[in-house]
Each structure stands twice: as structure tokens, then as C-alpha cells.
Amino acid sequence: MGAPDASDTERFTCSQARADTSAALVSLCAGLPQQQARRLHEDALLIASELASNALRHGGGITRFSARVRDSALLVEVSDRSPQAPLSRPHEPTVPGGFGWMLVNDLAHTVTVEAHDGGKTIFVALDTAPYR
């Protein structure tokens, strides 16, 4: 998906992020055995969901979302309105949530956060090599 315009930004959802990511994964999963393709698909959807929900919950909304394939990697980019980089927080048993950013970092091959005018963009690469 390209950059949504301002009116589309408010309507962009986690479901749309998952759908865009799933569509981008078709070519990557085609060459993998079924079990590995399923694992890659699940990990990629988890990454997309976490990034999108964090942008909606903590970043003032999604201003851009992109999921595409380059070489043997899925590249996911999510931009939001907050210049603040995501933070991992210590686990607190009495507080729900707080695992998303840790999961993204554990599953992804690379994670980069770049602040810019109007917010930040998080770039994530999920390489297929571990799934082969």
C-alpha cells in the first residue's frame, strides 16, 4: 500500500495492515515448505499487527504503511505522528500488554526507527533464511 492521504489515515486499521502484509507474502511463501510458510506468515502478521496497533495506540495514528518483498525479505514500514521511539518496558505481571515491541524485535531480522518532521517511521525486515 502506498502512503494514505490524510482522510484515509484515520481509517487505516490493523486489519488492513495484516491484509497488505499477507498479500506481500504470497511470493515469499510460494517457495517454502508448508510448515515454514505458515510460520513466516504468522510471524509477519504479528509484526504488522503490533506495529500498526502501536502506531494507533501510542503514535497518534498511522500516516503511512507499506509491506513489500525485496530479495528474500519482507520489508514493513509504518509511520506515525509521534517522534518518540518505542520503548521496551519491564514486565509487570499486574499490567496487561507491553510485549509487542519486544516481539517485533525478537522476530525481525532488523528493526530501525527514524524520527522525522511529523513523527517517525519504523522499518522492519523479516528475512526468509531462518524459515528455509
Residues 120, 59 contacting (CB under 8 angstroms): yes
pTM: 0.86
Mean pLDDT of the chain: 88
pLDDT of residue 131: 87
Is residue 1 one of the residues assigned to a domain?
Answer: no
Nearest to 76 by CA among 118, 37, 104: 104
- Evaluated on CA atoms 34, 100, 13, 65, the torsion sign reads negative
Is residue 109 one of the residues assigned to a domain?
Answer: yes
Is residue 41 one of the residues assigned to a domain?
Answer: yes
CATH of the domain at 49: 3.30.565.10
Is residue 13 one of the residues assigned to a domain?
Answer: yes
Structural domain including 86 reads 6-131
Is residue 64 one of the residues assigned to a domain?
Answer: yes
User: Does the pLDDT at position 66 exceed 80?
Assistant: yes
Q: How many distinct structural domains can be found in the chain? A: 1
